[in-house]
Amino acid sequence: MINVLWLRSSLWSRVVVYFLLISAVVFTLLPFLWAAVNSIKTSADTFLPGAVIPFVNFQPTLDSWRGVLEDPQVENAFVSSMVVSLGTTIFGLILGVPAAYALARFRFPIGSNDIALWFLSQRVLPPAVVLVPFYLLLVHLRLIDTWTGLIFCNSTFNLAFAVVIMRDIFRDVSTEIEDAAKVEGARPWQVFWKVSLPLSVDGLVVTSVLIFAFTWNEALFSAALTSQSATTFSALVLASRSTRGVDFNVASVNTLIGVLPPVILYFFVQRYLARGLSFGAVKG
């Protein structure tokens, strides 16, 4: 489909748009290109200022990849990140989706928007402010360095996505369909489970991807609340240093491995994301 505004735009407007798009692409891809190049260098080559082009400025090697992939700590961190991210996503949906449906359909003494704003404030709150209270709480519950403790902490902040996004999604679901189900004898829980929820799959996918991605990338709580058993991959990337300083080749390998799951997940669900993100864009 041809964009009429684009066809009517002037040459200079198109040049500016192309320049901004190319700049954004370069700005986004440059760190990954840097990581890809450094991942095939030796530790000594990472400090050479002119070592940019493989086989020309330096001799590439896969020693860093072998060292990382053969490290049991890396495997444990990857599994921990996957368990914590999936656990937080599932736990956040279990708690957040029913709450979002209630805010979209029922009236409360406190306004629905006020309750949703309170949920959103948990996401806006700087995590560092509550780091010490969370640490003391997990010490009391004996959940330090456990997957369960990290799931609880990440769910606290990411629950806002499930509530705020799904509330707007449920508001766009026609109440006439739900009324028809009630006339047929469906109970409120059946209306939610069998009518409203299936019609909100796109929103569920968007919410799940956001919660998973934010949990996967979280490093502050992972670094502070774990030490060995439940260390996540993001915390492992922060610890890519030795007695000589930062091992940029090892950090580059860890970075490339760390970005793979969210990117792969995006390619599988991208057709749902476009619809889900624009689902509630028409109504206010």
Complete DSSP assignment for 150-177: HHHHHHHHHHHHHHHHHHHHHHHS-HHH
Asked if residue 106 and residue 31 are part of one domain, the reply reads: no
Asked if residue 174 and residue 77 are part of one domain, the reply reads: yes
Asked if residue 273 and residue 158 are part of one domain, the reply reads: yes
Asked if residue 217 and residue 261 are part of one domain, the reply reads: yes
284 found inside a domain: no
Say how many residues make up the chain: 284
* Residue 54, SS3 per DSSP: strand
283 found inside a domain: no
Residue at a domain's end among 31, 63, 95: 63
The share of the chain scoring above pLDDT 90, in percent, equals: 20
Q: What is the arithmetic mean of pLDDT over 8-18?
A: 82
Are the C-beta atoms of 230 and 224 separated by less than 8 Å? no
Asked if residue 191 and residue 268 are part of one domain, the reply reads: yes
282 found inside a domain: no
pLDDT value, residue 82: 94
- How far apart CA 88 and CA 82 sit, in angstroms, is 10
Residue at a domain's end among 63, 84, 112: 63
Asked if residue 49 and residue 80 are part of one domain, the reply reads: no
Query: Which H or E run includes 274?
Result: helix 248-277
pLDDT value, residue 150: 94
Pick 273 or 132 by higher pLDDT: 132
pLDDT value, residue 136: 93
pLDDT value, residue 87: 95
Residues 6 or more apart in contact with residue 36 via CB below 8 angstroms = 252, 256
The tens digit of pLDDT for each residue in 81-122 reads: 999 999 999 999 999 999 889 888 887 777 667 777 777 777
Asked if residue 82 and residue 45 are part of one domain, the reply reads: no
Residue at a domain's end among 25, 43, 63: 63
Local confidence band at 284 (pLDDT 50, 70, 90 cut-offs): very low
77 found inside a domain: yes
Asked if residue 208 and residue 76 are part of one domain, the reply reads: yes
Token duo for residue 190: 């059946």
Query: Which H or E run includes 272?
Result: helix 248-277
55 found inside a domain: yes
175 found inside a domain: yes
**Of 70-74, 144-148, 228-232, 266-270, the least confident:** 266-270
pLDDT reading at 283 higher than 80: no
Let me know the angle formed at the C-alpha of 206 by 264 and 173, rounded to the nearest 5 degrees.
Answer: 150
Asked if residue 38 and residue 102 are part of one domain, the reply reads: no
CATH code: domain of residue 240: 1.10.3720.10
Asked if residue 21 and residue 116 are part of one domain, the reply reads: no
- Domain range for 258 is 71-277
- How far apart CA 216 and CA 79 sit, in angstroms, is 11
Amino acid identity, residue 160? A
Asked if residue 57 and residue 172 are part of one domain, the reply reads: no
Query: How many domains would you assign to the chain?
Result: 2
What are the CA-CA distances from residue 186 to residues 56, 181, 196, 257 (Å)? 71, 6, 12, 47
Average pLDDT value over all residues in the chain: 83
